[in-house]
Amino acid sequence: MFPKRVIVSLLCLVALASGCGGHQTSTGTINGVFQEVGGPPTLSSLGPRPVAGIVELTSSLGKHAIVTVSKDGAFRARVAPGTYSAIGKYPPGKSGQQEMTCQGLAAVVVHAGQAVHMTVECEVP
């Protein structure tokens, strides 16, 4: 029979070799909100309002991710580390308007294993 010390050492070695002994992630998360502001006085007095549509994320290295945004305006994307900017788009027919394209308020820097927040905002005339 093998001594307990040898068995425990072998089990630890197998666990490390199979990746069970510590997991490194190579992505980060962008949690965001897509919203509209402005518009006629009856709308602008409401402040920012969530909108549904899509958000296109682009890194400074040219990596792209497209996220569908539900009517609550919230979105989440797992992306490779880097600096990301965003463009949001309303679907055609939103509030009787043509499709609108909107910018993220600021680029965000994503680090592996971390989450950041991003706001994409449309200024309604």
In this prediction, residues 33-42 reach a mean pLDDT of 86
- What tokens does 83 get? 């600096």
For residue 19, the model assigns a pLDDT of: 43
Instruction: For residue 25, give the nearest of 83, 80, 82 by alpha carbon.
Output: 80
pLDDT score recorded for residue 80: 96
**What's the CA gap between 27 and 67, in Å, rounded?**
16
Cα 2 to chain centroid, rounded: 51
Question: Which 8-state DSSP code applies to residue 14?
Answer: H
- Structural domains in the chain, CATH included, are 25-124 (2.60.40.10)
- The residue type of 22 is G
Highest mean pLDDT among 9-18, 19-28, 94-103: 94-103
Would you say 104 and 119 are in contact if contact means Cβ atoms under 8 Å apart? Answer: yes
Mean per-residue pLDDT of the chain: 80
Band (15; pLDDT cuts 50, 70, 90): very low
Cβ–Cβ < 8 Å for 85, 42: no
Higher pLDDT, 102 or 95: 102
